[in-house]
Structure 1
Amino acid sequence: MSLEARTQTLGQALLAATRPGRSLLAQMREQLQWDEKLLAWAMEHPGLRTQLFRLIDTLPALTGSGEISRHMQEYLDQPEVELPELLKHLIHFTGRESLAAKTAAQTLTTAVSTLARKYIVGENFAQVRHTLERIRRQGMTFTLDILGEAVLSETEAQGYLQKYLDLMTQLAGVDWGCVPQVSVKLSAFYSQFDPLAERTTRIRVTQAVTQLLRKAGELGVAVHFDMEQYKYKNLTLAILQEVLLADEFRSRTDVGLTVQAYLQESEADVRELVDWVKSRGYPVTVRLVKGAYWDQEVIWAQQKHWPLPVYRRKSSTDANYEKLTRLLLENHRYLYPAIGSHNVRSQAHALAVAEALAVPLSAWESQVLYGMAAPLAKALVERGYQVRMYCPYGELLPGMSYLIRRLLENTANTSFLRQRLEKTDESALLAPPAWAEPTTPLPQIESFVGTPDTNFAEPGKPEQFLAAITQVKSQLGQTYVLPHCSTERLLDSVNPSNPTEVIGRVGLADATSVQQAIDLAQKAQPVWRQTPWQQRMDLLLKIADRLAAQRPEWVAWMALEVGKPIREADAEVSEAIDFCRYYAQMAEQLERGHNYDVWGETNRYRYQPKGIGVVIAPWNYPLAISVGMVTAALVTGNCVLYKPAEQSSVIGCKISQFITDLIADLGLPAGVFQGLPGWGEEIGPLLVTHPAVHFITFTGSRQVGCQIYAQAAQLVPGQTHLKRVVAELGGKNAIIVDASADLDQAVQGVVQSAFGYAGQKCSACSRVIVLESIIQPFVERLWAATASLVIGAATDPATTVGPVIDAVAQERLQTAIAQAKQRLTLVGERPAPAMGYFVGPTIFTDVPPDDPLAQEEWFGPVLAVLRVADFDQAVQVANGTDYALTGGLYSRTPSHIQRAAEELACGNLYINRGITGALVGRQPFGGFKLSGVGSKAGGPDYLLQFVDPKVVTENIQRQGFAPVAEEL
């Protein structure tokens, strides 16, 4: 009998043993329990499925029947949600505290708790023991997984490890008649788990794994290591392979790891594992699963513009699964295959392959999830096969995210279990999976496709950037003197992580330099103005290509000169490239202009350059903002005088040099673009007030920005135009966290937004406004996560918080923190390294809304926590500053999300995500009030600020005739 024929025979037998008496959708018309009704409705109504699962996800945060009933109405009583009649009657009530509302809330809570108990083996060890003993009586073994919150801090990571040590001790105290097994996730052993920080991550995780394996060996408990998101895969495998080759653990066979068949690299991973286990000399378990994060992987890859790591079609994953099943079973002498699936076809194929290869029954096993495929597991056991049940345990509410994944899997159109319940034709259920991967890429829904950041999970990528840092370090201390600048007046730019290290010496411009540069610009402006739009667009594309080719070097310069950590510097290079390409794309639209012709007359609306522009750039985004402001002015036909910040003067010189070189390659005069590094207070006013200057583009402090705005408004002798000022002046940005928020997301997002780049972003979160009902658990986790951040030199891949920019900033922040301690409640202050301009992340709580910390931009790693009674007060407090740049909300309450979108005063509002890292063409950036003036950078109307519109109307009628259509 052929392998396929045997698969069909075994499949038919398993289907017969697991055949349900009635379809679930038919049963929904009968007296089912509420939990079964919810599943049936979700399968039948796609709109209800989405909203229902969102509501279930929110339940852990809701307290009281009033809040639950309110959220039921907000999520389910929507026009796009098709409600079954029974559910419609349940939620159509008036008053949150009415008897109907309380009944609805209790019904939903009971139904969801019942659902959760179907997938979770217990909330305490007594319940777990009872369930596991029942599983053992059914002839199956088990693996136990602890559910819980995300690991955001080292306190939580240590707690995760301790829970497993305690669990293994409890398991060892019971005679199970088999070796008990636990399943763990490596990323939970270290809160800063990061492929970029490979060395540090390896050290910290290896310590935890070593402790776990030692204890497991003492107690006689097996350990299996789960696989998580794709970004963790390579580092997870590398750590486990290294640990399990150590002399202490090399002979251990009670360990295992996991392969996900939906990953395109999975076959290569299995073949590598086979070679590795052969060299090890002792077998390990390899659990084969299809994968649990498909949607997340697709979304993440599309957002980041990275290649898709998973197969796009379920049938392709199934086909790959069968290929890997055979590969594992062929190597059963070296490893122990564990085939995890609820798909009867997949399990039948495994049985057929095992028979064909004469694999002993003791040499492999099948695995299923608790609550997902009990009839299949029973059928396999009755036929003499080894079956292990994967058993999550823990409190129901922390386990809600696990429940959502199971519900999504059960109700998906491609789910085998759903197809089985819906009475899909059995021949279709058992048909061989077809390889159906599309050859075309996923369609882009963005009009502008941005540049991908570096995926540091790719092998060799971190090393590439570390090598660039070493190379750039060999160039430190050089002198940079641009045209017009002095060779005698030099500025030393130092490394804020190590101020004894001079990055470079820069020749400074003075009043004479400014006048010489303006003279050249005036000569070049007529030439540049007449240069075709396409040629100017090509310049931007060449700048983008040069930046892309030199990405690691630019990252190194930013890490060294302005203390920007590697990952954030990498994102800044992407942003600079995107500015170039996006503005080139926008310029193409400007070039076309608009035609408003009528009979006998043409009306042409066109754009012309303003003239000479001054760009005054900041130090915190020395590459991206500089390049963005400069290229916007250049592509619209204006000559540019560029003054970089003193603290990033070496990077400014390098930008000036390579843009000047590219312009020279076009055969254009040097005056089109000129760099003028210098002291801002010395040459800034000269540039701003010069009568030949038409516009000023500035990013920096409110004080300087307002001064520029005032100076530019003054008409001076020889000036025949009004100057345009485009200014971004910072913010006092707030994130609101309400009672329905996912605290895992909220804590992580606030920490990243507040302390990324040491809080030195105009978009950084400096205020977090928290409802008092959740402020205690939020602040506790917030500080624990903050206390776990790695503070150090920006060139260290493990660093998450680098230095502040210079001694002045350090002293200003230290003084302000010391004064704040005298009037505010300090949550915690991280100690900072002695060498360098470091300020440890600091958090104050119960900060009054009118306190200087809640009103003034401190521009550093200092966060104010403000307590509010309700959402109304939260909105009022958030809007109670002079700024309106960025804002955020963490909430799962639809009405709060809608109100935030309408009422929060900020130019960029981010909901349920961090508030920094705006992307060109996707999240155009800029604010209002005292956060600045002008259109949003990286937006469709930004270039309009650098041009003057002009309409040309021509009468084309001559002697009674005009070029018109002959027929009407």
Structure 2
Amino acid sequence: MNAPENIAKIPSTALSASPLATQVAATFDQLGLSFDDRLGSDLTVFSPIDGSQLAALRMDTPGDVDAMVANARTAFAAWKLVPAPHRGELVRRYGAQVREHKEALSLLLSIENGKILTEARGEVQEVIDICEYAVGLSRQLFGLTIASERPEHRLTEYWHPMGVLGLISAFNFPAAVWAWGTTVALVCGDSAIWKPSEKTPLTALAFAGLLAKAADDYDLAPNHLVQVAIGDARCGTAIADHPDVAIVSATGSVRMGQDVAVRVAGRFGRSVLELGGNNAAIIAPSADLDLALRGAVFAATGTCGQRCTSLRRLIVHHSIRDAFVQRLTATFATLRIGSPLDDATHVGPLIDQIAFDGMQRALEQARREGGTVHGGERLDLTGAADGYYVRPAIVEMPQQSAIVCEETFAPILYVMGYGTLDEAIALQNGVSQGLSSSIFTNDVREAERFQSAQGSDCGIVNVNIGTSGAEIGGAFGGEKVTGGGRVSGSDSWKNYMRRATATVNYSASLPLAQGVKFDLDIDP
């Protein structure tokens, strides 16, 4: 089929495998990095822009992970003794490297991941921002002084470095998710092993490579402080199972998180899980509908619907539903879909055919369950025969059916109606996921109730903004099958440290707590 007028053409530089691969190689040269030691034949890396091959890499094995953990333990033994503000200095230097190379890193991320350049730049900026956050945190790893019931006793809590962090990340935010955990873990005194998605290993090698450069130039940083394991699920399993990996932070599917949680719990390790999201926005009658429209469109179509915080369910009051859906459909029709390397593009490609097939299965099921589908078809773009570009879909549903309760990692927005706020909140909470939520309303009572214990059961609860685009200062994560973890922000640094409660007796007597008496006759 011919591309409609609003569909961006793929640039001529993306018409074959070699130009994008050449661009990736040039980017690594610009960064002063090389992945030659990673070349092999185990893992072929493709660009979702046109399906062209970017590189072929050697995958690490579970045995390689064992060696990495041993090196990480040695690095941790040295790093935990470095004062936290000095650990923060390494992160500050790393953030400066990322800032210096922001545009090159953004281009690499866009080529390998497929998100549009403005979103790629935003993700790289998030890495920079989290570095600044972690640097400030390095001087604020504070404990507590607690009132003791015993005279001349001091009761305090301390936080100490935990050990080796094993971080497993997904393809959709191949840099930010790693930075959320790793930079904070570094200032907390931990070492780290990063297992990125097999779909975005080059981005991982670039971001971790810059950190390695910063560490090489910092005499307080030990060798092997941060390592990258390029591999499939076997590497992730090896990290989750390893008794010397103190913390496992995993971002991805619910299925993956369930496996990781059981493995880590079985050895009494610590897991931090940020898993699936099936996020909803409620549009109330009092809402600023222009604001709601803008918020809904970006939240539903950003990263081609491949965010854990993507808007997947729109719950609109019956009195405004038809008119709002009409405006929403018209706005979706204006979206420019095409190469993420074109600054005019709104929506880039899905990551691969697996994602496309999953989207089509979901739409077929929605039709069987009574849904009316607008959009969702694959687009044939010049020069992108092996890229999976789709028109984002709006699906009007008569009720919250089985498919609506599932998370499909694609740009599908299910629209349902409601009559009362109680009904809307019940729909919002009536799924197994609990990551992000929002309400658009100018009624202060509705807004406050939505944020209260009677309201949203999600970890992120927004008013008059969409479900995606969380800031780094707030704790990020969710409830229910989303995993309950908080990977960064607020006091989530405590996930990467161990707590010690200390009691100091500076008296000449030995009173026991709770009034317990245990008198002994001791000869002087």
Determine if the alignment matches structure 1 residue 871 to structure 2 residue 424: no
Aligned to 1:739: 285
Kindly state the Cα deviation for residue 780 of structure 1 after the two structures are TM-superposed. Answer: 0.4
Aligned to 1:730: 276
Indicate conservation of the 8 Å contact 1:562/1:619, yes or no: yes
Match of 1:789 among 331, 335, 351: 335
Indicate conservation of the 8 Å contact 1:617/1:699, yes or no: yes
1:484-499 matches, cutoff 5 A: 487-499=39-51
1:256-275 matches, cutoff 5 A: none
Tell me the amino acid that sits aligned with residue 824 of structure 1. Answer: G
Indicate conservation of the 8 Å contact 1:824/1:846, yes or no: yes
Tell me the amino acid that sits aligned with residue 227 of structure 2. Answer: Q
Kindly state the Cα deviation for residue 595 of structure 1 after the two structures are TM-superposed. Answer: 4.2
Over residues 36-57 of structure 1, what are the superposed CA-to-partner deviations in whole Å (9 max), with x where a residue is unaligned? xxxxxxxxxxxxxxxxxxxxxx
Indicate conservation of the 8 Å contact 1:695/1:725, yes or no: yes
| Aligned mates of 1:857, 1:540 — CA distance in 2 | 35
Match of 1:657 among 194, 209, 215: 209
Over residues 60-107 of structure 1, what are the superposed CA-to-partner deviations in whole Å (9 max), with x where a residue is unaligned? xxxxxxxxxxxxxxxxxxxxxxxxxxxxxxxxxxxxxxxxxxxxxxxx
Aligned to 1:571: 122
| Aligned mates of 1:578, 1:604 — CA distance in 2 | 32
Aligned to 1:670: 223
Kindly state the Cα deviation for residue 830 of structure 1 after the two structures are TM-superposed. Answer: 5.3
Aligned to 2:469: 917
Inter-CA distance 474–617: structure 2 relative to 1 (3 Å threshold):
closer
Over residues 500-530 of structure 1, what are the superposed CA-to-partner deviations in whole Å (9 max), with x where a residue is unaligned? 2x23333210022111111211222211111
1:849-864 matches, cutoff 5 A: 849-852=400-403, 854-864=404-414
| Aligned mates of 1:489, 1:861 — CA distance in 2 | 33
Structure 1: stretches of 5+ with no match in the other structure: 1-189, 200-468, 716-721, 960-968
Indicate conservation of the 8 Å contact 2:296/2:311, yes or no: yes
Determine if the alignment matches structure 1 residue 519 to structure 2 residue 70: yes
Kindly state the Cα deviation for residue 634 of structure 1 after the two structures are TM-superposed. Answer: 1.6
Indicate conservation of the 8 Å contact 1:765/1:915, yes or no: yes
Aligned to 1:767: 313
Tell me the amino acid that sits aligned with residue 677 of structure 1. Answer: I
Indicate conservation of the 8 Å contact 1:731/1:885, yes or no: yes
Indicate conservation of the 8 Å contact 2:166/2:247, yes or no: yes
1:69-80 matches, cutoff 5 A: none
Tell me the amino acid that sits aligned with residue 931 of structure 1. Answer: T
Kindly state the Cα deviation for residue 604 of structure 1 after the two structures are TM-superposed. Answer: 4.5
> What secondary structure does 2:425 align onto?
helix
> What secondary structure does 1:517 align onto?
helix
Aligned to 1:561: 112
> What secondary structure does 2:347 align onto?
coil
1:155-166 matches, cutoff 5 A: none
Aligned to 2:449: 899
| Aligned mates of 1:597, 1:589 — CA distance in 2 | 21
Indicate conservation of the 8 Å contact 1:477/1:503, yes or no: no
Indicate conservation of the 8 Å contact 1:492/1:504, yes or no: yes
Determine if the alignment matches structure 1 residue 642 to structure 2 residue 194: yes
Over residues 274-297 of structure 1, what are the superposed CA-to-partner deviations in whole Å (9 max), with x where a residue is unaligned? xxxxxxxxxxxxxxxxxxxxxxxx
| Aligned mates of 1:816, 1:769 — CA distance in 2 | 19
1:277-426 matches, cutoff 5 A: none
Over residues 889-939 of structure 1, what are the superposed CA-to-partner deviations in whole Å (9 max), with x where a residue is unaligned? 111222221221121111112211222111111x43211111122235222
> What secondary structure does 2:66 align onto?
helix
| Aligned mates of 2:44, 2:183 — CA distance in 1 | 27
What's the Cα RMSD here? 2.7
Determine if the alignment matches structure 1 residue 929 to structure 2 residue 474: no
Aligned to 1:462: none
More helix by percentage: 1
Kindly state the Cα deviation for residue 883 of structure 1 after the two structures are TM-superposed. Answer: 1.2
Aligned to 2:438: 888
1:421-436 matches, cutoff 5 A: none
| Aligned mates of 2:204, 2:80 — CA distance in 1 | 25
> What secondary structure does 1:608 align onto?
strand
Indicate conservation of the 8 Å contact 1:540/1:631, yes or no: yes
Kindly state the Cα deviation for residue 682 of structure 1 after the two structures are TM-superposed. Answer: 1.5
Indicate conservation of the 8 Å contact 1:481/1:507, yes or no: no
Aligned to 1:842: 393
> What secondary structure does 2:348 align onto?
coil
Indicate conservation of the 8 Å contact 2:145/2:157, yes or no: yes
Indicate conservation of the 8 Å contact 1:618/1:626, yes or no: no
Indicate conservation of the 8 Å contact 2:363/2:373, yes or no: no
1:413-562 matches, cutoff 5 A: 472=23, 475=26, 481=35, 487-500=39-52, 502-562=53-113
Kindly state the Cα deviation for residue 472 of structure 1 after the two structures are TM-superposed. Answer: 3.9
Aligned to 2:520: none
Tell me the amino acid that sits aligned with residue 253 of structure 2. Answer: S
Match of 2:134 among 583, 593, 601: 583
Kindly state the Cα deviation for residue 827 of structure 1 after the two structures are TM-superposed. Answer: 4.3
> What secondary structure does 1:843 align onto?
strand
Kindly state the Cα deviation for residue 749 of structure 1 after the two structures are TM-superposed. Answer: 1.2
Which fold has the larger relative contact order, with Cα–Cα distance below 8 Å and residues 6 or more apart in sequence?
Answer: 2
| Aligned mates of 1:791, 1:847 — CA distance in 2 | 29
| Aligned mates of 2:494, 2:100 — CA distance in 1 | 30
Structure 2: stretches of 5+ with no match in the other structure: 10-19, 510-524
Determine if the alignment matches structure 1 residue 711 to structure 2 residue 257: no
Tell me the amino acid that sits aligned with residue 944 of structure 1. Answer: K
Indicate conservation of the 8 Å contact 2:360/2:376, yes or no: no
| Aligned mates of 1:877, 1:596 — CA distance in 2 | 43
Aligned to 1:944: 494
Kindly state the Cα deviation for residue 666 of structure 1 after the two structures are TM-superposed. Answer: 2.3
> What secondary structure does 1:614 align onto?
strand
| Aligned mates of 2:390, 2:361 — CA distance in 1 | 11
| Aligned mates of 1:683, 1:191 — CA distance in 2 | 42
Aligned to 1:753: 299
Indicate conservation of the 8 Å contact 1:732/1:885, yes or no: yes
| Aligned mates of 1:522, 1:920 — CA distance in 2 | 29
| Aligned mates of 1:564, 1:952 — CA distance in 2 | 49
> What secondary structure does 2:200 align onto?
helix
TM-score scaled by length of structure 1? 0.48
Match of 1:701 among 253, 267, 270: 253
| Aligned mates of 1:918, 1:473 — CA distance in 2 | 29
| Aligned mates of 1:657, 1:847 — CA distance in 2 | 50
Kindly state the Cα deviation for residue 602 of structure 1 after the two structures are TM-superposed. Answer: 4.7
| Aligned mates of 2:83, 2:446 — CA distance in 1 | 50
| Aligned mates of 2:67, 2:496 — CA distance in 1 | 23
Match of 1:818 among 350, 364, 389: 364
Indicate conservation of the 8 Å contact 2:374/2:395, yes or no: yes
> What secondary structure does 1:498 align onto?
coil
| Aligned mates of 1:893, 1:829 — CA distance in 2 | 33
Kindly state the Cα deviation for residue 832 of structure 1 after the two structures are TM-superposed. Answer: 3.7
How many residue pairs get matched?
482
Indicate conservation of the 8 Å contact 2:274/2:487, yes or no: no
Kindly state the Cα deviation for residue 856 of structure 1 after the two structures are TM-superposed. Answer: 0.4
Q: What percent identity do the matched residue pairs reach? A: 28
Tell me the amino acid that sits aligned with residue 886 of structure 1. Answer: S
Inter-CA distance 603–897: structure 2 relative to 1 (3 Å threshold):
closer
Over residues 723-768 of structure 1, what are the superposed CA-to-partner deviations in whole Å (9 max), with x where a residue is unaligned? 1100001211011112222221112211111011111111111000
> What secondary structure does 1:589 align onto?
coil
Aligned to 1:87: none
> What secondary structure does 1:527 align onto?
helix
Kindly state the Cα deviation for residue 684 of structure 1 after the two structures are TM-superposed. Answer: 1.2
Inter-CA distance 827–748: structure 2 relative to 1 (3 Å threshold):
farther
